[in-house]
Chain A
Amino acid sequence: MLKVVNLFKDYADNENTTRALNDVSCEIKNGEFVSIMGPSGSGKSTLLHILSLFDRPTAGQFLYHDRDVAELTDEELAKIRNKKMGFIFQAFNLLARATVFENVSLPLLYSDIPVGQRAELVIKAIKSVDLEDKIYIEASKLSGGQKQRVAIARALINDPEIIFADEPTGNLDSQSGGAIMEILAKLHRSGRTIVLVTHETYTAEFAERLIKLKDGKIFSDDQVQKRTAEFFK
């Protein structure tokens, strides 16, 4: 599904150039649950941004379903993000003054789904994360765990094939974090591809494959024994 070959990413800042990714090659297949780990400055977020079409590499090739991403326009990338990808962020990134319903329906505004079909999809997504009693509550009034579940519902609304999660449990207590990881595991079991970026070893080992980055290079890329949410209880 996602394949990067000899990927480089440099950031220029006045006179200095920082190489965030240094000749990275890897492939993420359909249905995999991959964790990307590394210390601060290792390039894990940069790799996530490129894989999720937020950013373009400086050099190298990135194939999405065998299509070279370099040939796609920004509008085409936005369309792919809308239809095929879902995002979960550490800081939740909800619209604070909007309701749960309005937050979850956000990606639909940029989709081709007719207006008449939207409400049903939104309510279904909210129910799937057990928040049906909070549909019209303002997002700012929810707990951290509830906010992240709203974010998951939003990520799922367009039925994406891949979910990118950037430190999804970073702002949560261990119990809430466990609940979130269980939802991600459930999504994986239903056939979705999950790419998780984390600096927490225990969260990373929730996946079945662990890519470790150091100084912009892949340090290791191994299959791991999956953890379960039991750890978090």
Chain B
Amino acid sequence: MRFSDAATTAYVSLRHAKMRTLLTMLGIVIGIASVILMMSLGSSAENLIVGQINSIGSNNIYIEPGAPEGVGFSESFLDQMSIKTLKAEDAEAIAKDPLVEAASPMIYSTGRVSYGSETKKLMFMGVTASAYVIDNWHAEKGRDIDEADVRSFARVVTLGKKTATDLFGQEDPLGKTMQIKNITFRVIGVMEERGMQIFQNFDEYIYLPLTTAQKLLVGIDHLNAISVKAKTKEAVPQAVDNIRELLRERHNIYNPNGDLSKDDFKVMSQVATANMLTQITGVLTAFLSSIAAIALIVGGIGIMNIMLVSVTERTREIGLRKAVGATTKDIRQQFLLEAVVLTVSGGLAGLVLGIGINYLIYLVLSNVLDIGWNFSLPLAGIILAVGVSTLAGLVFGLYPASQAAKKSPIEALRYE
């Protein structure tokens, strides 16, 4: 039998039982749609996270107090709250490293902020002038916090763009005074719009001199973090090592083997963080796709089941075909092709469905919720979907096709 005739025969047979064909395909449709969706969402999530991290520069290194990687989240958070060894002098020492362009010490906290009748609880950050070098982000009105402000514990602030609008409305905030935790500060600048980065909206923060924030608002002399910019992207790994050595020496930590669990700080490069998050999203995506693949297997088993029922129901037809000249090979080919047509059609429908749902999610997240979500179509996923659905047809169709091919024409024609 010609392959084209076999394909036509398979198609016509499926067409003669439309509802059963559609219901049988459903398992494959759902399975493939789920796998495509999981892979697409995983890819988009990875792009979003990595994009957010890379948006603030791939030369950046971030230092925090607290337990390094490997310790549980809650323990790390508590350690971060209690470890007070990271100081502004550490940032000064780091800035002297030949591979480092700038090091910016910082603290952050929240407090009640008021102007006139407006009162809000907002995040404020204590920074030095080096913060603007690292982030390349400056006041669009007025001026940045400078070293003189830091030395003099000045009670001045610069406002994120959204905060300026929220507190002052149409009024020009420059030169005005406002309260943070009932302490009066003068507004010296309004920052350029920056938007969401690393899932934080920098336009909603207030910025003030580090020393002022430490002494007047939070009452601490240690830091929450140090942001560092390496001179080049290639220098980052060595700079990370240098910083670890430096801080171990300054904090009197004896750690000749470089065991990160012995440090009272953690040093994370953007690149390493991006790689770690890429790994995490990759594992999550693989895990979710595996679960979705289970739906595919169930769909395949469903197809095998229905094909076996179909073979039994069409026993007389098989006998007739053999009577008029079909060979065992022809019958096997016909039923195998039916299974493949079912699974490939289901796979393509699943592909369209998965892509469609993915696009809807993209529309909602990017337009309605204003999250920088991109529409991702993993080519590997598409090829996998088509390949797997074809393979599923061959695998799950083989047994029913063999059963059909084995039937004796005499017995088949006698079948009631």
Q: Interface on A for B, CB 8 Å cutoff? A: 49, 54-55, 74-75, 78-79, 81-83, 87, 89, 91, 93, 95, 97-98, 102, 106-107, 109-111, 115, 154
How far, in angstroms, from A102 to B409 measured CA to CA in the complex? 20
Assess whether B321 is in contact with A106, with CB atoms less than 8 Å apart.
yes
Whether the Cβ atoms of B4 and A115 lie closer than 8 Å is yes
Q: Would you call A74 and B327 a contact (CB within 8 A)? A: yes
Given A97-B16, A106-B320, A109-B9, residue A89 in contact with residue B413 (CB < 8 A)? yes
Docked Cα-Cα span, A82 to B327, in Å, equals: 10
Asked if B12 contacts A110 (CB within 8 A), the reply is no
A82-B325, A110-B1, A110-B325 known; A93+B320 contact, CB < 8 A: yes
Q: B residues within 8 Å of A by Cβ?
A: 1-2, 4-5, 9, 12, 16-17, 316-317, 319-330, 409-410, 413
Please classify the interface of chain B as helix (H, G, I), strand (E, B), loop, or mixed, using the class held by over half of its residues: helix
A54–B408 CA distance with the chains assembled, in angstroms? 8
Beyond A49-B410, A74-B328, is A95–B322 a contact (Cβ under 8 Å)? no
The answer to whether A75 and B327 touch (CB under 8 A), given A102-B12, A109-B9, A115-B4, is yes
Residues of chain B within 8 A (CB-CB) of A97 are: 16-17
Q: List 6 A-B contacts (CB under 8 A).
A: A54-B323, A98-B12, A110-B325, A110-B330, A115-B5, A154-B324
Q: Are A111 and B410 in contact (CB under 8 A)?
A: no
CB proximity of A110 to chain B, nearest CB, Å: 4
A154 to B409: give the CA distance in the assembly, Å. 17
Bound CA–CA A93/B410 (angstroms): 13
A194–B192 Cα distance when bound, in Å, is 98
* Chain A residues within an 8 Å CB radius of B322: 78
Contact among A79, A87, A91, A102 for B323, CB-based, below 8 A: A87
- Measured between beta carbons, the chain B residues less than 8 angstroms from A55 are 410
Contact B323 A81, beta carbon cutoff 8 Å:
yes
A54 to B413, CA, bound (A): 11
Cβ-neighbour of A87 out of B9, B316, B324 (below 8 A): B324
List, in ascending order, chain A residues with CB within 8 A of B326's CB.
78, 109-110
Residue ID in chain B nearest A94 by CB atoms: B320
Q: Which residues of B contact A91 (CB under 8 A)?
A: 316
Supposing A54-B409, A93-B413, A95-B317 touch, asked if A78 and B12 sit within 8 A by C-beta, the answer is: no
Known contacts: A93-B316, A109-B5, A110-B1. The answer to whether A81 contacts B16 by CB under 8 A is no
- B16: A residues at CB distance < 8 A: 95, 97-98
| A-chain residues with CB within 8 Å of residue B2 when the two chains form the complex | 115
Closest to A73 in B: B327
Closest 10 CB pairs of A and B: A82-B325, A110-B325, A97-B16, A107-B324, A78-B327, A109-B5, A93-B320, A75-B327, A54-B409, A78-B325
Contacts of B325 in A (CB 8 A): 78-79, 81-83, 107, 110-111
The answer to whether A109 touches B1, judged by C-beta atoms less than 8 angstroms apart, is: yes
For the complex, what is the distance from the CA of A107 to the CA of B324, rounded to whole Å? 5
Contact A82 B324 (CB under 8 A): yes
Within the complex, the shortest CB–CB distance from B321 to chain A, in Å, comes to 7
- Hey, which chain A residues are within 8 Å of B323, CB to CB? 54, 81, 87, 93
Chain B min CB distance to A197 (Å):
13
Which residues on A sit within 8 Å (CB–CB) of B12? 98, 102
The residues of B that contact A95 with a CB separation of less than 8 Å are: 16, 317, 320
Give the complex CA separation of A89 and B362 in angstroms: 61
Residue of A nearest to B314 (CB): A95
Tell me, rounded to whole Å, the shortest Cβ–Cβ distance linking A57 to chain B: 13
Q: Determine the chain B residues whose CB is within 8 A of the CB of A78 once the complex forms.
A: 322, 325-327
